[in-house]
Amino acid sequence: METSTLIQPVKPSERIHVLDAVRGFALLGILLMNIPYFAFPEETVSNLNIRNEYSGLNYYAWWIINMFFEGSMRGLFSMMFGAGMVLLTSRLAKNMHVDSAAEIYYRRLIWMLLFGLIDAYLILWPGDILYSYAICGLFLFPLRSIKPRYLFLIAGILMVFFVAKISYQRSEPLRNKIAAEAIIKKKIAPGRQTLEQKEIIEKWKGFQERQKLENKKKQVTKEVRKTKGSYATLWSHYADVNTYLEATDFYQTGFLDCLIFMIIGIAFYKLKIITGERTPSFYLLFAIAGYLVAFPLIYFQLKMSVAIRFDVIKFLERFMIQTYEIRRLGLTIGHLGLLMLLYKSGLFKWIFNIWAKVGQMAFSNYLLQNITCGLIFYGFGFNYFNDLDRYQLYLIVPCVWTLNVVFSYIWLHYFRMGPFEWIWRSLTYWNIQSIGRKEKWVELQQ
C-alpha cells in the first residue's frame, strides 16, 4: 500500500482524550523540576548548603517539589510515550504492511533525535529528553505485541539490574574511603606504597577536596559566570555539558531510567489502565499502593539528607542501596491512579480538557517551555540566572503554564496540530501535511 494514503493528521475520533490529558499534565509538571536547572547552577539545585536554604520559603519549596513531584512527571511522560508507541503503530498497521509501519515509526524517531540535538545544542537545554526518548524508542517496536505479564517481567528484570548497577556505581566514594583508610592505617611510608595504593589515596583526597563547601561554591561561581555570558560563551559551556550527558551519562543511567517506564507504559496501555477504562475502586487501590511505596522512602531519605547536611559519604553509609527508581515508580503509579480516579469522577472535565489541549501539542509546548526559560534566565536573554530565590521560581512556573495553555487553545482553534508537530509529521512522511482547520479558514476569509 502507498505510504501516502496514511498521510493524514490523526482524526479527533482517533485521539484518546485521557492520554492527551495525562500527557499535558506531565508536560506542565515537568517544568517544576526543570526550572531550577534553568535558573541555578547544578550544585545549587540539589544541595541546600550552597545558599544555606534550611529555613523559610526556599526550604519548603525544596521539600514540596522533591516530596511530591521529583521523577514522577518524567515517569508519567515516559509511560505516555510507551503507550503512544502502541497507539501509533497499531494505527499504522491497520493501513500498511508491518515493514512499512516500522519504517515510518523509526523515521519518526530519527527526526525526534535530531530535534533533541537542536534542543540541546541550539536552544541550550541540558535537560533535553527528546534525544533520550528517541534512543529508547528504537527498542520499543519489537515489544508492541508482547503480553503485559512478559512486559512486567522484562521491566522488573531491568529494574533489579538498574538498581544494583546504580547502587554499585554511586557507592564508589565510600569504597575509596574504606580502601584509603585501610592503607593509611597500615602506616606505609609514601615511598613504599604501590602505584595502586597511591592512586586510591589520591582519589580519596581529590573527592574530599571537591566536597568542601568552599570548593563547591567556587565551582558554582564559575558556572554562573559562564551562564551569564554571551550566547557563544554559553554554547561553549553547554556543548561540553550536553556531550557528557548524551554520550556518557545517558548510557550509564538515563537509558534504563527511560526505557523501564516506557515498557511499563506499554503494559498499562494493554491492560487499559492508562486509558481510564478500569473501575474507580481499582484506581483508588492503584494510587494507594503507589503512594505507600513512595512516600515513606522519599520522606526518610529527604529528612536524612537534611540531617547530615548533604554529606555524600554519610548518606552512602546509611543507604547502600539506591532506591530512587523504586520510589519514583511508586510516586508515578500513585499520581497515575489519582489522575484516573479524578477523571472517572467526571467532576474535573474542565481541567482535563485544558491538559488535553496542552498534551495534544506536547512537542511544541515542551520546546516553548525551554525557549521561554532560556530567554528568562540565560545571559543572552533577561539574565536572571542565579538571581532569584528558589521559591520565586515557582511564581514564574504558572506564568509559563499560562503561556502553554493560551498558545495551545489559540493554535488548535485554527490548526489541527502544533507547529512543531506539523514539521515533525511532514518530515516523517516526506510530505507536506495539511494543518489548517478548513472551517476556521473559511470564517477568516469571510
In 280-358, at which residue ranges do the beta strands (DSSP E only) sit? none
From 127-131, 145-149, 317-321, 356-360, the region with the lowest mean pLDDT: 317-321
Q: For residue range 328-382, what is the model confidence (pLDDT) as tens digits?
A: 999 999 999 999 999 999 999 999 999 999 999 999 999 999 999 999 999 999 9
Q: DSSP 3-state assignment of 415?
A: strand
Cα distances from 217 to residues 204, 212, 224, 389, 436, in angstroms, run 20, 9, 10, 16, 52
The model's confidence at residue 10, banded by pLDDT at 50, 70 and 90, is low
How far apart are the C-alpha atoms of 367 and 238, rounded to whole Å? 17
How far apart are the C-alpha atoms of 395 and 373, rounded to whole Å? 13
Cα distances from 22 to residues 187, 270, 335, in angstroms, run 61, 17, 10
pLDDT over 80 (residue 8):
no
Cα distances from 100 to residues 103, 113, 211, 366, in angstroms, run 5, 20, 53, 29
Supply the pLDDT for residue 192. Answer: 83
Supply the pLDDT for residue 3. Answer: 42
Supply the pLDDT for residue 187. Answer: 84
Supply the pLDDT for residue 320. Answer: 87
pLDDT over 90 (residue 91):
no
Q: For residue range 28-56, what is the model confidence (pLDDT) as tens digits?
A: 999 999 999 999 999 999 999 999 999 99
The model's confidence at residue 140, banded by pLDDT at 50, 70 and 90, is very high
Supply the pLDDT for residue 11. Answer: 54
pLDDT over 80 (residue 440):
no
Number of H helices, E strands in the chain: 20, 0
Supply the pLDDT for residue 146. Answer: 96
Rounded average pLDDT over 311-324: 94
User: Vertex 148, ends 286 and 135: CA angle to 5°?
Assistant: 100
Supply the pLDDT for residue 188. Answer: 83
Q: For residue range 211-251, what is the model confidence (pLDDT) as tens digits?
A: 999 999 999 999 999 999 999 999 999 999 999 999 999 99
Rounded average pLDDT over 392-414: 98
pTM: 0.94
How far apart are the C-alpha atoms of 177 and 317, rounded to whole Å? 11
Grid cell digits, residue 55: 529555613
Q: For residue range 156-172, what is the model confidence (pLDDT) as tens digits?
A: 999 999 999 999 999 99
Among 320, 329, 324, smallest CA distance to 169 is for 320
Supply the pLDDT for residue 384. Answer: 98
pLDDT over 70 (residue 442):
no
From 18-32, 175-189, 273-287, 299-313, the region with the lowest mean pLDDT: 175-189
User: Vertex 368, ends 66 and 325: CA angle to 5°?
Assistant: 30
The model's confidence at residue 15, banded by pLDDT at 50, 70 and 90, is confident
Supply the pLDDT for residue 12. Answer: 52
